[in-house]
Amino acid sequence: MVEKLVITGNEGSALAFKQIEPDVVAAYPITPQTELMHNFARYIADGLIDTDLITVESEHSAMSACVGAASAGARVMTATSANGFALMWEILYIAASSRLPIVMAVVNRALSAPINIHCDHSDTMGGRDTGWIQFYAENTQEAYDLLITAVPIAEHPDVQLPVMVCYDGFIISHTNEVVEVLDDKTVKDFVGEYKPRINILDTDNPFTFGPLDFHDYYIEHKRQQVEGMKHAYNVIPEVFKKYEDVSGRRYEYFEKYRFDDADVVMVVLSSTAGTAKVVVDELRGEGLGVGLLKPRVFRPFPHDKLREALKDKKSIVVLDRSDSFGAFGGPLFTEIRSALYGIENPPEIIDFIYGLGGRNITKDELKTAFMKAVDIAEGAEVKNRVDYLGVRE
């Protein structure tokens, strides 16, 4: 049974958490994630689910408790934002390196300083090398769906890696929209029962957790971790396909919008892609051959699929909602540009850093970015390959 609701990003994610009903959730409140856990805690208080909610004194402890519970074979979830994510840092690596299939919602928010509670991607983009699989959701529908798909992806025996599902703070977390949700049983059946390969409480099959591992074996274990991420690359589309069968909603590594016949393409993550779709429609109305590509999966990065999709375009404009200080462009730009290296006649590519600290991104600004790429496609010289959008200078 399918139901349509008008709910916020945090309400939709809390509903996904409830329907997944993990064994353990350990969490600490931080704006704009708080409302997610607030709603989830209400499901527990109302006696609707049996999850053990561990309330801890910090996010460092939250992720540590998740690591402990996951090592004991529990299905574990959590959620955070920004500075809370930063405080988890040490343990994020430990969760991934210990191959623990924890699923976490991250409500994207700018990092301090200056203090800012609004959206950008500095938090999770900083965590792109922690070893977690990373999904970026455009809206509440995607946040809900991707959280549900994250569970079997994380727990797949060939993967065994944690997954974070990111969505934009306030812009999605506190906005209500129409969302199609599944019934509890469909979600329960989809995620199935978690059967951990090993667990710390299984005294009949003793196993070492958190060992010392120096120059004798550390690099081999890192190499195996890379293998897990490679397996994830094949498992993700399999799980997305199964999800399509139960939900009717099709997910892929990236969404293409009016893309195939476009000469000029914008690449952008998350909620801004929704605004960009409207801008694409308006520019198409003016006769311009523009399109959009919205990656949903940033780790593992679908470099070969993106190269194939983008190789014949005339120009590409990437939008990054986080900066990488001292680097040549934002994280999305550097990945895409690297994916296009070495092909014949690669498209021109430019980058705009935008929307830091929740700065509103307007349709006019997106048009400006598109028009720069259109001019370049028509032969204009690339002056500032990496530039800023909507900044007073």
Partner 1 sequence: MENELLEIRFHGRGGQGVKTAALLLAEAAFETGKEVQGFADYGPERAGAPVAGFTRISDKKVTIHSFIESPDIVVIIDGTLIDSIPVLEGLKKDGPVIVNTTLPPEKIANKLKKKTNIHTIDATGISLDILKRDFPNAPVLGAVVKVTGIVPLDAIERVFTKKFAGRDEIIKGNIAAAKRAYEEVKSI
Find the farthest-apart pair of alpha carbons in the chain and give their distance in angstroms, rounded: 70
Q: Which is nearer to partner 1, 285 or 326 (CB)?
A: 285
Residues 6+ apart with CB under 8 A from 26: 53, 54, 55, 56, 61, 62, 63, 65, 66, 69, 76, 78
- Please say which residue, 116 or 122, places its beta carbon nearer to partner 1: 116
361 binds partner 1 (CB under 8 A): yes
Instruction: Decide whether 268 or 340 has the Cβ nearer to partner 1.
Output: 268
Minimum CB separation of residue 280 from partner 1 in Å reads: 10
Q: Which positions from 256 through 315 interact with partner 1, judged by CB under 8 A?
A: 271-272, 274-275, 277-278, 281, 285
- Give the residue with the Cβ less far from partner 1, 88 or 353: 353
**Which residue type sits at 54?**
I
Q: Which two tokens stand for residue 260?
A: 């195939």
CB of 271 to partner 1, least distance (A): 4
81 in contact with partner 1 (CB under 8 A): no
For partner 1, the closer of residues 174 and 188 by Cβ is 174
**Shortest reach from residue 31's CB to partner 1, in Å:** 8
CB of 349 to partner 1, least distance (A): 24
Residues 2-31: x where in contact with partner 1 by CB under 8 A, - otherwise, as a string: --x-x-x-----------------------
Which tokens go with 72? 């004991």
Strand boundaries in the chain, DSSP class E? 2-8, 24-27, 52-55, 76-80, 103-108, 133-136, 163-168, 176-182, 254-257, 264-267, 290-295, 297-299, 315-320, 348-353, 386-388
Give one word for 265, left, alpha or beta, with left for phi > 0 and alpha for psi -120 to 50. beta
CB of 267: closest distance to partner 1 in angstroms? 17
By CB under 8 A, residue 39 contacts partner 1: no
Contact code string over 111-150 relative to partner 1, x by CB under 8 A = ---------------------------xx-----------
Number of residues that bind partner 1 (CB under 8 A): 26
Q: Who contacts 25 (Cβ-Cβ below 8 Å, separation ≥6)?
A: 17, 37, 40, 51, 52, 53, 54, 76, 77, 78
Rounded to a whole number of angstroms, the minimum distance from the CB of residue 281 to partner 1 is 7
In the set 226, 363, 382, 384, which binds partner 1 (CB under 8 A)? 363
**Site residues (CB under 8 A) for partner 1, limited to 170-189:** 170-172, 174-178
The CB-of-176 to partner 1 minimum distance in angstroms stands at: 5
* Distance in angstroms (rounded) separating the CA atoms of residues 12 and 236: 22
Query: What is the per-residue DSSP string for 48-102?
Result: S---EEEE-SSHHHHHHHHHHHHHTT--EEEEE-HHHHHHTHHHHHHHHHTT---
The Cα 240–Cα 251 span in angstroms is 6
Cis ω on the peptide bond leading into residue 32 (within 30° of 0)? Answer: yes
Assess 168 for contact with partner 1 (CB under 8 A).
yes
Residues that bind partner 1 (CB under 8 A): 4, 6, 8, 138-139, 168, 170-172, 174-178, 271-272, 274-275, 277-278, 281, 285, 360-363
